[in-house]
Amino acid sequence: MQRAAASLASSRSAAAWACSSTSRHAIASCSATARRDAVVPLRIRGQQKVPLHSMSLSLLSRRRPARTAKAAAAAAELAPASDEVAAGGGIAGTVQLGAMIVAWYLLNIYFNIYNKQVLQMLPLPLPYTITAFQLAFGSLVIFFMWATKLHPVPKLSAAQLAKIAPLAAGHMLGTVFTNMSLGKVAVSFTHTVKASEPFFTVLLSAFFLGEVPSPLVLGSLVPIVGGVALASLTEVSFNWVGFWSAMASNLLNQTRNVLSKRLLGGEEEEFMDDINLFSVITVLSFLLSLPLMIFAEGVSFSPAFLQSTGLNLQELCVRAALAGLCFHGYQKLSYMILARVSPVTHSVANCVKRVVVIVSSVLFFRTPISPVNALGTGAALAGVYLYSRLKKTKPKSS
């Protein structure tokens, strides 16, 4: 009897120990599971980090259906902490974006000043040659960046090149028309006409991105178009070639921006960061500009031709090089900003930039402006401000 009681007690003790061991292993497994789920993966695109809490949990739950409720609860408790980090990064990102916009404005001011001086020094307008030179300077900077491994060289497929080639053609022709307009009219008038960019942005965003504007947003375009028309009627340096060149540049540049946004937000296998996208567009634009320059203007920009005109070659080359440097810098910053904001926000920031450029060019070149001309310019810029406020208060679609 005593042996049977001892045997029964021994078996109960063993069962209790096994149950305790099993419980400890289950708790440890659950703890390890929670720790694994607590790691929130990040998906990096360009310079943006996007937390994927729900995606990581759903993928892991499909692969391991035996996950317990405690593991999911532990991962959910850690999600707000990650959001706080993202919020802290958002402040730093806002400061960085503001610095980029200021640099974008300054480089654009100096580009317009130097570029206008170069166009005034030439004995005849050479917009295709000036464009090819600016794109060539940018291409040299890009190849230096890739050669020194300051930025990784992109691996392009034939499908990507087919998508980027039209953007490069639009970028090149937009630059040609901008130089053509600057060579015919005042810098302030060119940028007043180009302040109508929101009109083209709304039109192209609706066509390519499916974004339908509200009636109030469409109404804000009226003072923009009306102000540009009023400024055009009273512009002292008005020229039809300069006017339509600025309008064509608007259309081409905004088409490039909207389509570039689609590439920057494309699928992972087709994704390219903002710097490399702009770099590839610049190089392709330069290659496309060469045959157009030779066909339209030949070799008019040769040293022998410039010497025969009595120009100061050293001064011309220095200003052209500075214009090319500022051109490449502000265009690259434009693409970097476009990767962080929507096409409409980018267009609004671009229009605010035009205010700064118009005021700077008027003061630097002492451009005469009549009261009616100033009223038209002010109406266009006020319409841009109204447009930006309406777009900011517009509810986001779910």
Q: How far apart are CA 61 and CA 76, in angstroms?
A: 14
Contacts 24+ apart (CB under 8 A), 251-254: 251/200, 252/170, 252/171, 252/173, 252/174, 252/177, 253/170, 253/171, 253/174, 253/197, 254/197, 254/200, 254/201, 254/204, 254/343, 254/347
pLDDT for res 36: 42
pLDDT for res 270: 54
Q: How far apart are CA 43 and CA 53, in angstroms?
A: 11
CA distances from 191 to 124, 178, 223, 268 (A): 22, 10, 16, 37
pLDDT for res 300: 66
Mapping DSSP to helix (H, G, I), strand (E, B) and coil, where does residue 250 land?
A: helix
Vertex 172: Cα angle to 166 and 176 (nearest 5):
140
Mapping DSSP to helix (H, G, I), strand (E, B) and coil, where does residue 49 land?
A: strand
Q: How far apart are CA 101 and CA 169, in angstroms?
A: 26
Mean pLDDT of successive 10-residue segments in the chain (398 residues)?
Answer: 47 47 44 41 38 35 39 38 39 88 94 91 85 91 93 87 89 92 89 82 80 85 87 82 91 80 56 81 94 82 71 84 91 84 73 82 86 87 80 51
pLDDT for res 392: 62
CA distances from 299 to 128, 135, 296, 316, 357 (A): 11, 17, 9, 17, 32
Q: How far apart are CA 33 and CA 101, in angstroms?
A: 45
pLDDT for res 233: 82
pTM: 0.66
pLDDT for res 344: 66
